[in-house]
Amino acid sequence: MKIYPLNIILDELFAWLEFIFKNIPGRVGIFLRNIFYSIIKGKVLYISVGNSTVIKNIKSINFEKNIKIGPNCFIDSTNGYISIDQYSAFNEGCHINASIGGKILIGKKVIFGPKVIMRTANHKYNVKDKYIQDSGHNIKDIKIEDNCWVAGNVTILGGVTIGSGSVIGAGAVVTKDIPPNSIAVGVPAKFIKQISYE
């Protein structure tokens, strides 16, 4: 009989516990996930996590208070770092990925529509005599400042800063910086106008 090292056994135990907790529905599930992730993080978290959401490497994720994460989201900071400031909220199916490296920094009271994608790494595709899969990545940080609204199905690529108070229209692909208090739409996302406040 093969004997496995303790770290492999603990990883397997964690995977089973995470699977159980992430699939408990309703308010009870949200409450239990908060306790579970607080224990893993080693401090009390004030987050609401919907069912079927996956959070990988929570130790390199900074959650401020009152973060809401909808169901079926995926958050991975395996080789990078993610910081989410207070009162920010993610709708269903968001994908926040710093798994290869880099940082994703999200400000205060930022709201995300369903199925928003953020990824710090893009595949290199121009390395001679190598398959794209074997060519590595270009890694760049993503920063979204306070009070932004990122609508559904938006993709935000590495190297982008979205200025405070901005709105990104549904389905946009953000490849360049967006200035503060702007509305940007399209593929690639382009500034269309400054927000006029009442």
For residue 197, what are the contacts with CB-CB under 8 A and spacing of at least 6? none
Catalytic residue among 10, 35, 123, 192: 123
- Alpha carbon distance 115, 165 (integer Å): 21
Q: Tell me which amino acid residue 66 is.
A: N
Query: How many C-beta atoms surround the C-beta of residue 152 within 10 A?
Result: 16
Nearest to 51 by CA among 111, 93, 79: 93
Which H or E run contains 42? none
Exposed, middle or buried: residue 88 (CB in 10 Å: 0-12, 13-18, 19+)? buried
Is 95 tagged catalytic?
no
> Cα–Cα distance between 38 and 43 in angstroms, integer?
5
Catalytic residue set: 123
